[in-house]
Structure 1
Amino acid sequence: MGESKYLGPEAVQETNEVIAKIRARMIASHFLEKIYANPKHKHVEFQVGNHVFLRVLPMKGVKRFDKKRKLSPRFVGPFEILERIGEVAYMLAMPLAFSGVHNVFQVFMLRKYVSDPSHNLSYEALNMQLDISYEEKPIKILGKKEKALRNKTIS
């Protein structure tokens, strides 16, 4: 029981067979990765001075950018690109209302803005807190409805 040296053409043949199996498995896994990759993925680049929309991730219980939950906007903006930082990050010109938000975003959070001459790019002043939320205040009641239950009505 000791170390034995494994020399000869059989060892070389066995090693070549194992290497061939490994290569075949690597090719198969590479093929599967190609299949699972997103075929619609496009490499996106923006130029300095372009306008883009910013993706907003809705959070439960937090009202951001005008509406709550299902009706909350998915994108806000448009914002102008000030500078490209690295390969996939851009610095945006944010209004003072968003001063609590960092102004550097990755490409996947931006969407191209197609300009329309009738679109007004002015920003309204919002009273926002540092966590990008604000309190909703109704302006007026547009409709009134009464619900009749068994022995009482609820307006």
Structure 2
Amino acid sequence: MSRPTSEIYLYNPQEACTGNIEVKKLGDYTFQLLCNDPFDEDLSYGTIIEVEENLTAEGHFQLKKIVQVSEYNRETYWLPNSLNETELRIVGDKIVAEGGYWEVIMGGIGIVNLPKQSHLNVDKALNTLVKEKLLKQLLQGLINSHYIKK
């Protein structure tokens, strides 16, 4: 069953910036974040926030306070450019299987949210994929050079 979500523009006075963020509405002025703010680690997937009753002059919601911090650990990775989207989804599926959430922002930064009890080592999983891909390329190169010499 899908959960009702929406996207809001949220002004964060502490950071003096506005961004769009996917949320689940919990009350008139309360939302649960369903993605990560790339510039404020306190605004992570699962965090529950309260906004001011009145919108800003620009018509945006204004962050009032964090009601409940996320129950997930947040990790940020520079994704290896040697892996394509399909290969990244292999690790993404492991994250989801652990009950976590992941997203790619700005074309190469991965933000991962894992339950606190998770033991998944995302860095190791990414490195294993890179090594496997390099090994396949090396073996294919050796096979190709063997046939070219004949």
- Tell whether the structures are fold-level matches, with TM greater than 0.5: no
CA radius of gyration, larger in:
1
TM-score scaled by length of structure 1: 0.24
**Higher-RCO chain (CA-CA 8 Å, sequence separation at least 6):** 1
TM norm structure 2: 0.25
Q: Larger % of strand: which?
A: 2
